[in-house]
Amino acid sequence: MRVVDAVKFCEKELVMFENPTLEAEWLVALSLGIGRADIYKTDEIDKELEKRLISNLKKRKKGMPLEYVVSSANFYGYDLFVNKNVLVPRPETEELVLLAKDYILPTHDVLDIGTGSGAIAIAIKKQTNANVFAVDKSRRALKIAKINAENNHADINFAFSDLFSGVKGHKFDVIIANPPYISRKEYEKLDKTVKNYEPKLALFGGEDGLKFYKRIIKDAPKFLKEGGKIFFEIGFDQADDVSKLLEKDFENIKVKKDLEGNDRMVFATKRR
């Protein structure tokens, strides 16, 4: 099969998506292990690659996220292995790393809570060379995070932990977290491509979506050094609620918008 014909075939099969052409091009490129810009420079697809493409096409037609179809995602320029046990890393979370890294020194101890695929921990380690700890309460997620750290040559201290339970006795200069923040009401309305495939454990943040912020903020002061900072990714409408939760033990509370203009990050300094 010629690549141009493969794209046309996939395009016809993926008409349920908003942009079938883009979907088809990405599916073909990722299935062949080449860049999207290179697909039309490739002439023929051999039989083995054709079988892989058809298999991937069937999965995508059912609504499986493309990253799960090809078991790969890119985050902050780093290639990550992903499957149904970890959340597909989002572009907004790259903005959290971009914000936090400017406050992190190579001598700092950094804790990534709920590491999932290891995306944040790996990017922070590679960008700052700080001493990075990463925890998760899912052993399957930790296994994937360790694979990704090894593949990206990132030396990270991983621990099975329900928030802070696995790092008792440690104190950190920076805590960073993208906790589950979808409320029950929002979860019921999620697109099926998310709800049917991505782990609920990594999405659902309790009735109001604030369950994990409350738990992290309550205990964080005990695990932060003097003047330590905490960084959160938040839902677009959670800035006021998370900021209020921080007021008791934190100062210099700031909210930062993402590139779409939505409130997306809150960060603060431990009160002295």
The 10s digit of each residue's pLDDT in 30-48 is 998 888 888 888 778 889 9
Residue with tokens 């994990």: 212
Give me the DSSP letters along 221-250: HHHEEEEEEEEEE--TT-HHHHHHHHTTTE
pLDDT digits (tens, 9 = 90+) for 113-129: 999 999 999 999 999 99
Separation of alpha carbons 191 and 160, rounded Å: 30
Find the mean pLDDT for residues 168-188. 96
Helix axes 91-101, 119-128, angle to 10 degrees: 40
Structure tokens at 255: 């909210």
Q: Which residues contact 51 (CB under 8 A, 6 or more apart)?
A: none
Using 50, 70 and 90 to split pLDDT, how confident is the model at 22? very high
Q: What CATH number should be reported for the domain whose range is 3-62? A: 1.10.8.10
**In this prediction, what percent of the chain has a pLDDT beyond 90?**
90
Domain ranges of the chain: 3-62, 72-270
pLDDT in tens, 198-240: 999 999 999 999 999 999 999 999 999 999 999 999 999 999 9
Contact yes or no for 261/242 (Cβ under 8 A): no
Q: Which fold has domain 72-270?
A: Rossmann fold (3.40.50)
* Percent of the chain at pLDDT exceeding 70: 100
CA geometry: angle 70, 264, 258, nearest 5 deg: 75
Residue in 215, 217, 216 with CA at minimum distance from that of residue 246: 217
* Tokens 């990463």 found at: 134
Residue 233 sits at φ, ψ, to 5 deg, of -90, 145
> What pTM value is reported for the model?
0.94
Q: Which of 94, 91, 90, 6 is nearest to 46 (CA)?
A: 6
**How many C-beta atoms surround the C-beta of residue 1 within 10 A?**
14
As a dihedral over the C-alpha atoms of residue 237, residue 243, residue 246, residue 251, rounded to 10 degrees, the angle is 150
pLDDT given for residue 158 in this prediction: 98
HEC sequence for 124-188: HHHHHCCEEEEEECCHHHHHHHHHHHHHCCCCCEEEECCCCCCCCCCCEEEEEECCCCECHHHHH
Contact of 269 with 227, CB cutoff 8 Å: yes
What is the structure's pLDDT at 119? Answer: 98
